[in-house]
Amino acid sequence: MTPAIELHGVDYAYDGGPPVLRDACLTVEEGEFVAIAGPNGGGKTTLLRILLGLARPAAGTALLFGEPAHRFSRRATLGYLAQRSRLGTDAPATVREVVSAGRLAAGGLLGPLRAGDKAIVARAIADVGLEEKADAPLATLSGGQQQRAFIAKALAAEPSLLVLDEPTAGVDPGAQESLARLLERLHRERQVTVLYVSHEFGAVENVVRRLVLVRGGIVFDGPPSDLPGAWHDPSHVHA
């Protein structure tokens, strides 16, 4: 089977800046649940942007389901939650409106959302446990609930690949645990490939079987139990 994600020898630097990633190689099979961790500025977000085809590597290749990532033909099946997602608007959007926006590409761009798509949106809201808040403005929700709404938005695409950049940042520890459990359940029930970036990965350590540490490249890739003891807090990685 074609892997969901393949990175081969990827180098990357921002305009005129120092190298951010060097010789990064990563293969993720369909149906895997992979956590990505590493220090701030280690290149996690950059790695995601490359594997989603939003940025082109200076060297190496990035493939999505076997196709070049920047020319991937089935984009409507990608669910992406950007880092520190916040609404790009001052209008008081409700949970349902935010989640519906995740159905934009899959449900067609023109006219109102069709009944089938509305049902998919409702299911995504139910899956993250926000039914009761479905028509509340997002600003009236707690930080953890808002992150759930954004996860539901990514789910509304009925994605075959779900990529989440620090979905638990700025959320209290209790909510972090429950978000991690939620992601694990969604992965199991929906059989979706999940790539989950977590700065504080303590919460996922018990959930994932594969952990990737990023620090200017990929410095570790394996089961969390194989991590060298000194590396357990990813914010203090000394590779």
Ligand X SMILES: Nc1ncnc2c1ncn2[C@@H]1O[C@H](COP(=O)(O)OP(=O)(O)O)[C@@H](O)[C@H]1O
List contacts with Mg ion (CB under 5 A): 44-45, 83
Identify the helix (H) or strand (E) that includes residue 78: strand 78-81
Q: What are phi and psi of 49, to 5 degrees?
A: -65, -35
The three-state secondary structure class of 165 is strand
Residues in binding contact with another protein, number by CB under 8 A: 41
Site stretch for ligand X (CB under 6 A), options 37-45, 59-67, 138-146, 202-210 = 37-45
The smaller minimum CB distance to ligand X, of residues 17 and 111, is found at 17
| Under 8 Å between Cβ of 161 and 192 | yes
111: contact with another protein by CB under 8 A: yes
Residue 20 interaction partner, one of another protein, Mg ion, ligand X, none, beta carbon < 5-8 Å per kind:
ligand X
CA distance 33 to 29: 9
Task: Express the helix, strand and coil content of the chain in percent, nearest 5 each.
Answer: 35, 25, 40
Question: Which one of 3, 60, 137, 144 is in contact with another protein (CB under 8 A)?
Answer: 137
Helices (H) and strands (E) in the chain, counts: 7, 10
Report the first-to-last Cα separation within the chain, whole angstroms: 33
Among candidate residues 184, 157, 156, the one with its CA nearest the CA of residue 168: 184
CB of 231 to another protein, least distance (A): 31
234: contact with ligand X by CB under 6 A: no
The smaller minimum CB distance to another protein, of residues 90 and 226, is found at 90
CB of 115 to ligand X, least distance (A): 39
Residue 132 interaction partner, one of Mg ion, another protein, ligand X, none, beta carbon < 5-8 Å per kind:
none
Residues that bind another protein in the complex, under the rule CB under 8 A: 52, 54, 75-76, 78, 80-82, 85, 87-94, 97-98, 100-102, 104-106, 109-113, 135, 137, 139-143, 146, 153-154, 157
